[in-house]
Structure formats: C-alpha cells, structure tokens
Structure 1
Amino acid sequence: MRPKVLLVEDSTSLAVLYKQYVKDEPFDLFHVETGREAIAFIERNVPQLIILDLKLPDMSGEDILDWIAEHQVPTAVVIATAHGSVDIAVSLIQKGAKDFLEKPIKADRLKTSIALHLKQAKLEHLVEDIEAKFDRNRFHGFLGSCLPMQAVYKIIDSVAPTSASVFINGESGTGKEVCAEAIHQESQRNKKPFIAINCGAIPKDLMESEVFGHVKGAFTGATADRKGAASLANGGTLFLDELCEMDLEMQKKLLRFLQTGTFTPLGATKEMKVDVRIICATNRDPLKEVEEGRFREDLYYRVHVVPIEMPALRERGNDIAILANHFLKMYAKEDNKKFSGINRDAEALLKKYNWPGNVRQLQNIIRNIVVLNDEAKLSVSHLPEQILKQSASARSNHTPAATIAAREVIAPTINEQPIPTELESSPQAIEAAPTANKPQTIRPMWQIEREAIQNAIDYCDGNVLNAAVLLELSPSTVYRKKQAWESEDETTAS
C-alpha cells in the first residue's frame, strides 16, 4: 500500500503546484484547505505525514498540531511557513513537529523532505511491529515499553519458572526490588513469601541474625528465639539487595548456605534446612568489587547465574513521560488535586533531564509538584530548579559537533599560521620567512562555507534544521544558501 501524505494548504494554486512537483513520487498526496477538513481526514484515515500550513482560514496550524498531540495521532508533521514565521515554526518543533519548509517550497526540497520523513516513519513502524510481538506497557510493578525494559520483561519470563539464581545490576532507584518481586510473582513460588533484606542498611554485627535468626541468649538483648529471613522465606524467595555491602565473613557463611541449603541460627547447635530461591542485587560493579577484594569471587560465580541489567531512567526514552503521567494522576487522585496531564514543553524537559536518582527521583519530584500546586496541567513553571538549570546549561555549554567538523574543514584549507608579533611582521621578517610555510592556495570563503554546511547536513543525516542548530545558524539561512547552491548547480548543468 502506498504511503499517504496530507497537504493542509488554503491556497489552491500552491496545492496544484505541489501536486505537480510530486506526481511521479511513490506516495499519494491528498489536499485539504481548512483545519476542520484536516482533522476530519485524519480521523478517517491517518496519513504517515502531514504538511501543515501555519495560517488557515478557520484555525492555526499550531491548533492542529496540539490536537494531534492531544489525541496521540501516530503521524509526522512538517510545518510549511512563510519567511517571517520561521521562529514560530522552530517553536512548533519543540511541540512535536518534525521539520519545517520555508515558502516558497521548491520541488527538490519538497520531495527530499517527504521522502526523508516517510522513510523514518517506515523504520519506526518496523520497530513497533517488532515490539508488538512482546510489547507490554505494564508488567507486574513496572511501567514502560521501551526496548531495554522489554528485554528485562523477556528475561523475567524465561528465568522465573526455573530455580536459577538471578543477579540484578543497576543504579539506585531503577527498580531492582520491583524486578525481584516480578520474578517471584511469575514463578511457581508466588504463593509463598517474598522476603527482602537490604544488606547496606543492616549493621555488620546484626547481619547474621537478620539472615539466619538467633536463639534466646545468643547475645546481649536476645531475649527470645527469632527467625531469620532464610526461615521466613522457606518455600519462597529471598531477595538480598545491595549484596556487595555485605562483609566478607558473612559472605562466607552465605556461600555455604547457598551451596547446602542449610544454616545454623546464631547461638544454636542444630542445623536447619530450607528451600529458598535467592535473588541478589547491587548498584556497584560486582567484578570490580571482586578485583578489589571486597566481594568473594566464589560467591560471585554462585549467585551470578542469570544477570539482569536494569536500565537507568535516562536511557528509557518515552517511558519517562509514561511514568511521570502515571505518578501525576496517581497522586492527584490521592490528594484530590486537578492535575490530569503534562504540557508538551514540560514533558520535553523531563525527557532531557539526566535523572541521577532514576525512577525514585522522578516519583518524588512529581509528588512534590502535586502537593504544592493544583492546576489542570503540569507546566514548565512547576519543574524544580535542577531540571531547568540542566536544560539551560546544556544549551549554553554545548559544543556543536558539526561546528568542530566545520573548523576541521576550514583549518587545513587556510593552513593557519601563528599571528606574527610586531617584530615578526617587519618587511625583513616577512622576506626571511620560509616560503614552504605559506599556503599553496587560498580558497574562496563561499566554498569553505558550503563545504562546512554540507558536512553538517551529512552529519545530521539530511536534517537541515538539526544542522543549523549545530552550526549555530538560522535554519532559514541554511535553507536559503542550500537552495541557492542547488539552483546554481542546475544552471551550470543545463
């Protein structure tokens, strides 16, 4: 089936011209003149791409873009704008538009843009098809459907029915305990207890008692027998979080327990045997801990049977928005607040933030916003300073890769020499300077500029807007120069 492209343009003459441009292209171009007609068309048959004029008789292009975002329509939008509205078009890209075309749109530019975005839409559709085979937005306590999380879900499905030990690795706040509980719930042990111990939160002297229990009189303050986590988890699952925090002597006793399934409570003389599945987790690099002598190598190989790597929140893409919306609605319901969603610009900042505290940090920030505010939408003004500061810092400190590439193009061409001092610039010094250091040729600046801009566009895979941002130039300037060069090339060829 041929892809569908919807042109929303109130000028019939321009629409006829654009249709003529693409009449031989492998897609179908449909034309509507108003915003209402566009929405009606999208509701009937979603196109893969929409070319959207900013100014329409009944509503603005921005209104239609907002409607598309609100209804989560799976389509790409390219803004068609007059020269004076380029800044507006750039702002709409921050709201979800993929690109913009500056009027008057030339044939090559129109065909190239449509082909590029249809190709991108096709690739995204293929990824969605692959994900759909095992896609889940919810999995026990997890939310999110990004590829790294889908991989986690698949490993859980595979390992849960077995008795194999699982070792979960990931930064703090990524959901290691949620992962362990999911394994337990998917296993045949799900009717038995799930017992969790944080090895980093228990004092060294109490660890053995917490895991294996003790008898009355085993130590000062032991006024009665007490079952440890190993006994409490009998038949079920014992989750040892932050295992690398456990001291070496306790690691030795744990290893014996894992090998034999038996242990002796502190102060007792009789061994006990239990049937427990062990799941361990850490936020450290376990191999580095082994190398530095803080983690027993034999224990590492005993527990590291099936590893699961929990992705950091910053690596989960759109899951950030899914989680933020979930927490927002959950806390709004709990506290009887009005919040029902997140504005696109605020959502974009949430996605760009680094999230050193991962899901736990996101949850706390949303909780704080709901407690202190009561509005229908979460906006940029609600976000804490650390998120806004990182966004501003990223913009001010960013060194564009394409700018570096441009400098690399320019530097060897001009063959830069050190700026001479007053003595060095005297006629005698100039006469004495070796001719070998002089540049062989001086190229015109327009050639260097063209090469730098083309390098940037190639670096951005043909995305002129991204290239303009990296070059720190106005997108309209890049488009104008590119079109001028293309026209010159056509004239020369003819």
Structure 2
Amino acid sequence: MLQKVLLVEDSTSLAILYKQYVKDEPYDFFHVTTGGEAIEFMKKNPPQLVILDLKLPDMSGQDVLAWMKENQLPTAVIVATAHGTINIAVNLLQSGADDFIEKPIQADRLKTSIRNHLKRAKLEGLVEDLQNTFNRKKYQGFIGSSLPMQAVYKIIDAVAPTTASVFIYGESGTGKEVCAEAIHYQSQRHDKPFVAINCGAIPRDLMESEIFGHVKGAFTGATTDRKGAAMLANGGTLFLDELCEMELEMQKKLLRFLQTGRFTPLGGSKELSTNLRIICATNRDPLTEVNEGRFREDLYYRVHVVPIQMPPLRERGTDIIDIAAFFLKKYAKEDKKKFTALKRDVELILCNYSWPGNVRQLQNIIRNVVVLHNETHVTVEHLPPPLNQSQTIPVIKPQLTSTPIQQPVEQQPQSTVEKENNSQVTEATSPTAYSTTNTNSIRPMADIEREVIQNAIDHCDGNVLNAAVLLELSPSTLYRKKQAWEAYEESDS
C-alpha cells in the first residue's frame, strides 16, 4: 500500500502545480482546500504526511495542527509559509510541526522534503511494529516473546486463515499441540471441533478404528457403531500428533483420505465424506524417517505444506522465566500456597539449564516446588534434582589474586627511610588491601550495560532507534534487553 500525502492549500492553481511536481513519485498525493476538509480526511484515513498552508478560508493552519496534536495523529506536518510568516512557522515547529517550507515551493525542494519525511515515517512505523512484536508476551496459549517464538506467531497468523495443511515438528514438550490449537482457534473453523489423536499412544490394531470409526461387529468387542476422529472433527480440525509413529499400511489409508476426503469405517461397506483440516506433528526428523523407509514419501509431501518448527525451551531466553512465573502463580492459586515469585539466583539456574523435557519438564519442576513448599519466593533449596545440583550451572566468580613477593636470598641493609617506604608499598599492595579496595569498586557487567544503555536512551529523549545507532547496536537488541529488565522488575513488584 502506498503512503499518503495530504496537501492543505486553498489555491487550486498552486495545488495543480504541486501535483505536477510529484506526479511520478511513489506515493498518493491528495488535496483539500479548507481546514475542515483536512480534518474530515484525516478522521477517515490519516496520511503519513500533511503539507499545511497557514492561511485557510475557514480556519488557520495553527488550528488544524492543534487538532492533530490533540487527537494524537501519528502524522508528520510540513508547514507551507510565505516569507513574511517564517516567525510563525518557527513557533509552529515548537508546537509540534516537523518542518516548514517557504513559498513559492520549488519542485526539487518539495520532492526532497516529502521523500525525507515519508522515509522517516516508514522507519518509525517499523520500529513501532517491532515494539508491538516484542510486547506480545502471550499468544493463543503460548507464553513468551523471544525471537524464535515471534517467528512461530507470525507463521500461525499467516497460515491460520487458509486451508493449507500444517506440519509441526520439534522436540517433545515444546508445545506442538498448543501450536495446532492456536492455528485452529485463529481459523474460520474456530467454532467447530478440534480433535487430537496421539498416533504413538494408540495400539496399531486400533488406529484405523480411532481415526475412521467402526461398525457393530467389525471386531471382537465392537458392540455398537462408533464414530472415528475423522467424523468427530467434521467441519473443524483433526490434529495427528506423532504421525511418524503410524504404521505404513495405515499411512496409505490416511493418504487416500487426505486426497479424496472420503473414508470407509472399519467393517463397513458405505463410504463417508467429511470436511476437515489436517494438522500433523512429530518429534522426529520426517525426512530421516522417509529415507529410512518408516514414513511414506507421498504422505510426507501431502502434509508437509507449511512447516512450523517449535524451538526448544533452552533457545527461548527469558521466556523460561515468564513461563515459570506463570506456572508458579497458577499452581499457588490452585493449591492455596504463598508463592508469588522466583529468586534471582533461581532465575539464573532456570535460564542456564538445558531442559531436555522442554516446557513440560519446567511445568513439572514448578509443580513439584509448589506441592512440597510454601513460602513467598522460590529459592535454590526448593528446586528438585537435577536443578539443585551444583553442576547444573557453573557459577564463575571473579577472583582477585596477587603473587606473593619472594624475598631475595641475600638482603642488603636498608636505611630507615627505605624501610618505611617499603613498608608502605607492601601494605598498599598486600592481598587484603588490594582485594578490599578493588572489590568495592567492581560492579556486575549487567548493571554497567544497563546503565550505559539507559543513559543513551535518555540522551536521545527516549528514542530507542537513535540510541541504538549511537551504541552501534541493532534496535531489536535494545528492545529485547529493555523488555527483559521490565519483565524482571514486574516480577519483583
């Protein structure tokens, strides 16, 4: 979508001239002749830039600018002024205008000014989108705002409204079913059933019945007709977890069902049809399974339309703390316990642990703590194995050492002054004195980093983008760090 520029100019002849200047520029150029028309235009569709004449038939340009600022429109304003009103234009800059341009406006000056302000507006919009992205801590059952999870959220946003098949893969406990549910509840099928089947937990001889159902007498114990997941999920979503665990013969029947939308219940003779969306998941590498003959290649290409890789918990940074805090409050409320937060050293242990069981393991750890203890803060002593073992997180403490002064084998007699001077030197450089003096002046690197970044942001009047440029960092890095600090402060409050 093209950016929009609104010219507020009561002279139709000048407006035609300015339009001619910018006719080949890559933005939409609109023109109104009064302040009232400008306000109505901006109410319906705020432009990225307004070129505002000061003298209008119904009101002054100052009035239009005041309305824009009162309604907090995110629109840049260039004041168009005649030579005699430059002082007024300067005052308007102090009142919120972004620039002024002197009449008569030259073509190059107009195009350059518009181009620069639109570029700035686009950049500010990208930064705002980035801020909104990093502020998305909760999303459709997920908790976390790390970059890997933001990538997952974006794919879900894109694929959910479509009918495309989705293949989710990742380690056990990373939230593959939560992802499938998020896709379902973001889709047009959200008011229809979501049916999940774990292909690795169902005996092979019952798999066909679980998915397609059976008729009475189909096998021993089949005393009545039974609908399978394919019919129960009609109109909605069928989630097949651990698809690579399904035996090859059943994979063949599933492939036919996916191609035709039709199936026959076990023991039945009548073919049925259903309308549903298939989402599959596995904790294995599907291509490896194909190459080793355990997963049909044609089925793989049928279901592997939009892949989503769920990141392991160890790669999600401070999401670990957010998830732990969520479970802590949840279980403390359920069990009527006092827990409200995690101690800082506990957070460090959680963030440095490898989490082979991912979110499911973290959930069980927090459940264990809440059940067995009842204090306001989780401490290291509350953590069960293996997190309470010293080798879980190597804590490296900086140590100040000094090499002992070796006495020479033969010492020459010293004068009284030399003895006093040496005594002062020895005392000043002794291990105890050195340690005491320097330890007091040493601060954690994280504190220094935060202070430097905050000073840069303050220096730039809160503009994180400018601060990032000064610090030679990417804006996303600064936003992540600010977010982590704010999250930690919120958890402490």
Sort the TM-score into its range (normalised by shorter chain): 0.5 to 0.7
Q: How do 1:375-386 and structure 2 match up within 5 A? A: 375-386=375-386
1:395 is aligned with what amino acid?
A: P
Deviations 1:438-464 (A, max 9, x none): xxxxxxxxxxxxxxxxxxxxxxxxx99
For 2:141 and 2:254, how far apart are their aligned partners in 1? 29
1:278 is aligned with what amino acid?
A: I
CA 1:230–1:393 in structure 2 vs 1: closer, same or farther (change >3 Å)? Answer: closer
2:375 is aligned with what amino acid?
A: E
Q: How do 1:321-400 and structure 2 match up within 5 A? A: 321-389=321-389, 391-392=390-391, 395=394
1:146 is aligned with what amino acid?
A: S
Deviations 1:198-238 (A, max 9, x none): 00000000000000000001111110000000000000000
CA 1:465–1:140 in structure 2 vs 1: closer, same or farther (change >3 Å)? Answer: closer
Q: How do 1:235-254 and structure 2 match up within 5 A? A: 235-254=235-254
Contact 1:131-1:147 at 8 Å conserved across structures: no
2:173 is aligned with what amino acid?
A: G
Query: Secondary structure of 1:295's match?
Result: coil
Deviations 1:27-85 (A, max 9, x none): xxxxxxxxxxxxxxxxxxxxxxxxxxxxxxxxxxxxxxxxxxxxxxxxxxxxxxxxxxx
1:147 is aligned with what amino acid?
A: L
For 1:133 and 1:268, how far apart are their aligned partners in 2? 51
For 2:295 and 2:330, how far apart are their aligned partners in 1? 40
1:130 CA displacement: 2.5
Contact 1:139-1:153 at 8 Å conserved across structures: yes
Query: Secondary structure of 1:395's match?
Result: coil
2:157 is aligned with what amino acid?
A: D
1:129 CA displacement: 6.8
1:383 CA displacement: 1.0
Match of 1:92 in 2: none
Deviations 1:235-264 (A, max 9, x none): 000000000000000000000000000000
Query: Secondary structure of 2:334's match?
Result: helix
For 2:129 and 2:165, how far apart are their aligned partners in 1? 32
Match of 2:220 in 1: 220
For 1:303 and 1:135, how far apart are their aligned partners in 2? 33
Contact 1:234-1:276 at 8 Å conserved across structures: yes
Match of 2:210 in 1: 210
Contact 1:135-1:150 at 8 Å conserved across structures: no
Match of 1:261 in 2: 261
CA 1:161–1:238 in structure 2 vs 1: closer, same or farther (change >3 Å)? Answer: same
Number of aligned positions between the proteins: 275
1:289 CA displacement: 0.2
Deviations 1:320-355 (A, max 9, x none): 000001100110011111000001011100110111
For 1:350 and 1:193, how far apart are their aligned partners in 2? 37
CA 1:362–1:134 in structure 2 vs 1: closer, same or farther (change >3 Å)? Answer: closer
1:337 is aligned with what amino acid?
A: K
Match of 2:278 in 1: 278
Match of 1:313 in 2: 313
Q: How do 1:45-444 and structure 2 match up within 5 A? A: 130-133=130-133, 135-389=135-389, 391-392=390-391, 395=394
2:136 is aligned with what amino acid?
A: R
Contact 2:353-2:393 at 8 Å conserved across structures: no
For 2:342 and 2:128, how far apart are their aligned partners in 1? 24
Contact 2:134-2:146 at 8 Å conserved across structures: no
2:159 is aligned with what amino acid?
A: V
Contact 2:215-2:224 at 8 Å conserved across structures: yes
Contact 1:261-1:273 at 8 Å conserved across structures: yes
For 1:362 and 1:127, how far apart are their aligned partners in 2? 33
Contact 2:134-2:145 at 8 Å conserved across structures: no
Contact 1:328-1:366 at 8 Å conserved across structures: yes
CA 1:354–1:206 in structure 2 vs 1: closer, same or farther (change >3 Å)? Answer: same
Contact 2:343-2:379 at 8 Å conserved across structures: yes
Contact 2:161-2:187 at 8 Å conserved across structures: yes
After TM superposition, the score normalised by the length of structure 2 is 0.54
For 2:286 and 2:169, how far apart are their aligned partners in 1? 9
Contact 2:386-2:392 at 8 Å conserved across structures: no
For 1:299 and 1:199, how far apart are their aligned partners in 2? 15
2:151 is aligned with what amino acid?
A: A
1:384 CA displacement: 1.5
Query: Secondary structure of 2:387's match?
Result: helix
CA 1:329–1:394 in structure 2 vs 1: closer, same or farther (change >3 Å)? Answer: closer
For 1:195 and 1:214, how far apart are their aligned partners in 2? 17
Contact 1:314-1:353 at 8 Å conserved across structures: yes
Deviations 1:135-172 (A, max 9, x none): 41111111111011111111000000000000000111
CA 1:136–1:279 in structure 2 vs 1: closer, same or farther (change >3 Å)? Answer: same
1:133 CA displacement: 4.0
After TM superposition, the score normalised by the length of structure 1 is 0.54
Query: Secondary structure of 1:387's match?
Result: coil
1:387 CA displacement: 1.4
Percent identity, please: 72
CA 1:334–1:208 in structure 2 vs 1: closer, same or farther (change >3 Å)? Answer: same
Contact 1:199-1:245 at 8 Å conserved across structures: yes
1:395 CA displacement: 3.0
For 2:333 and 2:392, how far apart are their aligned partners in 1? 35
For 1:393 and 1:232, how far apart are their aligned partners in 2? 46
Contact 1:212-1:231 at 8 Å conserved across structures: yes
CA 1:200–1:388 in structure 2 vs 1: closer, same or farther (change >3 Å)? Answer: same
1:392 is aligned with what amino acid?
A: Q
CA 1:325–1:309 in structure 2 vs 1: closer, same or farther (change >3 Å)? Answer: same
For 2:262 and 2:135, how far apart are their aligned partners in 1? 41
